[in-house]
Amino acid sequence: MSDQDEVEHVVSKDGSSTLYVPHLNEHYHSTNGAVQESMHVFINSALNKFEGEQVSVLEFGFGTGLNAFLTLINAKADVHYHSMEKYPLNTDKIALLNYGQIEEGRHQVHFNNLHQANWGEEAEIKEGFHLYKQQCDFKTVLLEQKYNLIYFDAFAPDVQPILWTKDIFKKAYEALLPGGILTTYCAKGVVRRTMQEVGFSVERLPGPPGKREMLRATK
Over residues 56-107, the pLDDT tens digits come to 999 999 999 999 999 999 999 999 999 999 999 999 999 999 999 999 989 9
Q: Residue 6 pLDDT > 90, yes or no?
A: no
- Average pLDDT (33-46) is 98
Give me the pLDDT at residue 3, please: 57
The band of 5, judged by pLDDT with boundaries at 50, 70 and 90, is low
Question: Which among 14, 33, 37, 20 is positioned nearest to 184, based on CA atoms?
Answer: 37
CB-CB contact of 133 with 89 (8 Å): no
The band of 41, judged by pLDDT with boundaries at 50, 70 and 90, is very high
Using CA atoms, how far apart are residues 48 and 45, in angstroms rounded to an integer? 7
**Cα angle: 190, vertex 154, 47; to 5 degrees:** 95
Give me the pLDDT at residue 118, please: 98
The fold for domain 33-218 equals Rossmann fold (3.40.50)
Give me the pLDDT at residue 139, please: 94
- How confident is the model over 131-189, as pLDDT tens digits? 999 999 999 999 999 999 999 999 999 999 999 999 999 999 999 999 999 999 999 99
Q: Residue 2 pLDDT > 80, yes or no?
A: no
Q: Which residues contact 36 (CB under 8 A, 6 or more apart)?
A: 14, 16, 30, 208, 209
- Name the pTM for this structure: 0.96
What DSSP assignment string belongs to the chain?
A: ----TT-EEEE-TTS-EEEEETTTTEESS-TT-HHHHHIIIIIITTGGG--SSEEEEEEE--TTSHHHHHHHHH-SSEEEEEEEESSPPPHHHHTT--GGGGGGGTTHHHHHHHHHSPTTSEEEEETTEEEEEEE--TTT----S-EEEEEE-PSPTTT-GGGSSHHHHHHHHHHEEEEEEEEES---HHHHHHHHHTT-EEEEEE-STT-SEEEEEE-
Question: Which among 71, 81, 14 is positioned nearest to 46, based on CA atoms?
Answer: 71
Kindly compute the dihedral angle of the four CA atoms of residues 155, 156, 159, 162, in this order, to the nearest 10 degrees.
Answer: 80
